[in-house]
């Protein structure tokens, strides 16, 4: 009897244990393992939660055509890409836009920041017009080769795509750059770890 119980327990740990270890902590936000974007199949590279002190601010998921374990591999990734963010608490959208702008500036070279200024201004305008993002609301930032960066709020495109190719990687560096908004979230987006609280801005 004991031997049977031990065998059953070992089997359950083998099946359930790894699944829990690989499951990202996204505060109840569900990210599909695969999505379709512009005719391509994208995989969930990683997902996690952005913390501000001890508070959960938003969940973030990164989708790529192929898995990438380093920021450099993400920046070089071919095909469409998506960053999908779901708010976990109400936040002033204009303030969030300012934090994103600061994050872009802190992580981009001067040359790349200058090239991404039109996109950065457009991003700020979108958030300023939205005013507030409530818990449960979402926005997506899609990179579509040959088209540019498309920003969507609650699934609705916000104007024309931003054509400067430097802007998308500059935006991703908010989370994946040398000075990320949340170091634990950076690891989670790269599929390496579950997130924990961080004191970084962004």
What pLDDT, on the 0 to 100 scale, is given for residue 127? 87
Q: Nearest Cα to 141, choosing from 172, 187, 108, 113? A: 172
pTM (two decimals)? 0.82
Judge contact between 50 and 56, C-beta under 8 A. Answer: yes
CATH number for position 59? 3.50.70.10
- Give residue 54's pLDDT: 85
pLDDT tens for 117-145 read: 999 999 889 988 888 999 999 999 999 99
How many domains is the chain partitioned into structurally? 1
Mean pLDDT for all residues in the chain: 84
Binned at pLDDT 50, 70 and 90, residue 87 comes out as: very high
171 is in which domain, residue-wise?
A: 25-189
In a domain, 99, yes or no: yes
Q: Tell me the β-bridge partners of 149.
A: 143, 162
88 in any annotated domain: yes
Q: How would residue 193 be classed by pLDDT, with cut points 50, 70 and 90? A: low
Give buried/exposed letters for 89-109 (b at 16+ CB in 10 A, else e): eebebeebbebbbebbebbbe
Q: Is residue 2 part of a domain?
A: no
Domain membership flag for residue 92? yes
pLDDT (mean) for 7-19: 34
């Amino acid at each position: 009897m004991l031997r049977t119980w031990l065998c059953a327990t070992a089997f359950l740990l083998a099946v359930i244990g790894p699944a829990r270890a690989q499951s990202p902590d996204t505060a109840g936000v569900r990210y599909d393992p695969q999505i379709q974007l512009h005719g391509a199949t994208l995989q969930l590279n990683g997902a996690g939660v952005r913390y501000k002190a001890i508070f959960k601010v938003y969940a973030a998921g990164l989708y790529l055509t192929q898995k990438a374990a380093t920021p450099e591999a993400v920046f070089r990734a071919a095909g469409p890409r998506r960053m999908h963010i779901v708010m976990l608490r109400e936040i002033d959208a204009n303030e969030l836009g300012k934090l994103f702008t600061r994050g872009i500036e802190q992580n981009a070279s001067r040359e790349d920041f200058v090239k991404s200024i039109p996109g950065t201004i457009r991003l700020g305008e979108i958030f300023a017009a939205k005013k507030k993002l409530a818990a449960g609301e979402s926005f997506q930032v899609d990179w579509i080769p040959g088209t540019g960066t498309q920003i969507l709020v609650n699934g609705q495109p916000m104007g024309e795509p931003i054509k400067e190719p430097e802007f998308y990687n500059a935006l991703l560096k908010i989370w994946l750059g040398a000075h990320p908004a949340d170091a634990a979230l950076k690891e989670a987006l790269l599929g390496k770890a579950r997130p924990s609280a961080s004191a970084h801005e962004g």
